[in-house]
Amino acid sequence: MAILINNKDKTYTLTTKNTMYQMKVDELNVLVHTYYGAKMEYMDLHYYSKCNSQPSFSPNPADSIGVCNQYTYGEASQELSCAGIGDFRLNAIGVRNSDGSFGVEPRFVGAEVIKGKYSIKGLPSFYGDEADTLVITLKDKVHDIYFHLYYGVFEEYDLITRSVTVENKTDKSIKLEKALTLTLDLPRGSYDMLNFHGRHMRERMVERTGIKHSQITIESMRGGSSHMQNPFVVVCDKDANEEYGSAWGIALVYSGNFKIAAEKDQWEKTRVVAGINPENFSYEILPNGTFECPEAAMVYSNEGFGNMSRCFHKAIRNNLCRGKYKNTQRPVLINNWEGTYFNFNADKLVSMAHEAKKLGVELFVMDDGWFGKRDDDHSGLGDWTPNEKKLQGTLKNLAERINAEGMKFGIWFEPECISEDSDLYRAHPDYAFKMPDRDPQVSRNQYVLDYSRKEVVDNIYNQLTTVLDSANISYVKWDFNRHISDLYSVALPPEKQGEVYHRYMLGLYDLLERITTKYPDILFESCSGGGGRFDCGMLYYMPQVWTSDNSDAIDRLKIQYGTSFAYPVSTMGAHVSVCPNHQNARVTPLKTRGNVAYFGTYGLELDVTKMTDEEKEEIKRQIVEFKKHYELIQHGEYYRLISPFASDESMYCVWETAKEDGSEALVCAVRYDTDACTPPFYVRVKGLLPNRFYRINGSEKTYLGAALMNLGLELEYDFFTYPSRLYHITLA
């Protein structure tokens, strides 16, 4: 059973296939965390986490005197750590009471088990009838303020989710000034944290830092999860690697401002917190009102990063992504952006579709520039009316012309932003974020719409549905090309301006829910200047994300490698683009560009009418090969074999996807540097059957699975710059 309640010990134990998570109601009726790690037989594990000493200058709760004189919130491993009551470490919840005091002391009230996974009103979350939910209710010692802690248990994926609802049952308003969902206290020891930092066109670079007696903070205050940090971290043993050691993966199901922080305290305990960034956050909870915190998802693995990642991949594919496309084969597409930018008309697009169809492409996507007064990025956002002069007719006419070529038709939107030079801005300048008496900051010649206001969201919803109803549209790319500044909503009084960031996210999620529900047959792809909002929150609404605006295959090695720590291949938008590459001028073989794009959604980002016959034949071959291996690539077990961040001299990045039953695997190796007199190089394959024989790329020679996994597969070296090879491994 996934949830075990022991009333005698007052313990609550969550178990998955391989892990165990335990909490206990202690002698002061405080809910404390006792354990999260490898699965074991049941026992009350509080002996390891109880207060054993009197931390220097840490106060004792009033009711601990005479009961447990050593008790202090400063050492207790609280499941819900709160500010203002003597826990001076990182904490999750901060409540400003109606009398102005800052602090609450949650104590246990009760618990219940619910069949199926809980949901969160207005917020994305993992889902599934096969999951179980534990709800634990705590109440402040003094005031009628309740905290409902939700735990979702997905046994098969070793995934545990958490959320917190704060309920105000007092007769006066309170202010929630800190709303982090997760508090996780780890066993004493030394740990590292992996975070995934970056910048535009260099997202999710892997960085490993030791957790010391100071805070490590991973955060965004940009109004989106951002290119600069990702709302996912791994806390791990010092010697943990892909196959060995303890690793705790933590992902927030949220796309806005976030904070994930860790610190080692004076008694060598490590604490991790995660949730909404408390900077410029203050949310009023009215009498009888509630506030739902975003979900955090956790996976523990004692078999290193690889096993942790594969658990996340399955859970995200099957129980976070929704709709008809989450596990069905998606069409191979071509996007005209890098092929034409703003310089196109309908005839040009149709000519591209005509040539692309010959190569096996199935979907044509018209990117930016089709609407309003939009011949560059200085105008038009907010006016979602087709430019019929540029399109040489109606949008419906263009879609019909594309469909007549045997292609589906897709379209680009940027619904969250507005140009100053637009009819919408001239009619409603107050729709954009702008501080009183200040000129707003401009980025990409645009402002951000105030989605905390329902009338703004409704306006955009009505515009989008008018467009989507007007033509046969099969795909939508949803972009967001700047971050939020000048935060101020004219619809809220001064004392509620701290709610705007989160209300913006609620407005965005509301719009996404309405649009994706109304159009279940449209494939939606999220984008934010590429990978600036690649997170579990967006994946709940859209099953794929444009991984980066950097389409260079060699740069993509690191970008897609870092992304894979949490997110499955099926979510990564990846295209073959032209060379010299438009982002860095690198020239890479077309074969290598294809091999890298295979391990994503695979598409084209170029003007196919300008390709040579030889290049077209290569694209034809790639599309056939991609479709041949589609199920294996998209739904196989993913293994990172050699890191592009490694300091060794291999100069290879190698990864693999294998069938869960070990019957088939596909290995991709890309050489990202060159050297003279190259020695033979072998890579150990994973996920095969050790006692069965295999063929590689259909050759007559056979290899024992154990040999390929222990001695390795020899990587053949092609003598040119940036070579790559696919190795298809099948049972003999």
Alpha carbon 117 to its chain centroid, in Å, reads 20
Q: Find the catalytic residue in 63, 615, 625, 631.
A: 615
Amino acid identity, position 655: W
Q: Which residues touch 7 (CB under 8 Å, ≥6 apart)?
A: none
d(CA 171, CA 723): 69
CA 306-309-310 angle, to 5 degrees, is 90
CB–CB of 567/548 below 8 Å? no
Distance of CA 328 to the CA centre of its chain: 20
Phi, psi of 617 (to 5 degrees): -65, -35
Catalytic residue among 26, 140, 525, 535: 535
Q: Residue 615 catalytic? A: yes
For residues 291 and 168, what is the distance between their CA atoms, to the nearest angstrom? 9
CB 335 within 8 A of CB 575: yes
CA distance 20 to 40: 7
Query: What is the spatial distance between Cα 668 and Cα 657, in angstroms, rounded to a whole number?
Result: 9
Residue 478, judged by CB atoms within 10 A of its CB (0-12, 13-18, 19+), counts as buried
CA distance 262 to 215: 6
CA-to-CA distance for 281 and 496, rounded, in angstroms? 9
State the Cα torsion 582-586-591-595 to the nearest 10°. -80
Q: Which residue has the tokens 């007719």?
A: 393
Position 170, amino acid: T
How remote is the C-alpha of 336 from its chain's centroid? 26
**SS (HEC) of 64-118:** HCCCCCCCCCCCCCECCCECCCCCCCCCCEEEECCCCCECCCEEEEEEEEEECCC
As given in the structure block, the two tokens for residue 616 are 């077209």
Q: What residues are paired with 20 via a beta bridge? A: 15, 37
- Per the CB < 8 A criterion, the answer to whether 125 and 253 are in contact is yes
Q: Which two tokens stand for residue 568?
A: 């499955």
What is the layout of strands, in order, in the sheet containing 31-38? 3-6, 11-15, 19-25, 31-38
Name the residues annotated as catalytic: 535, 615
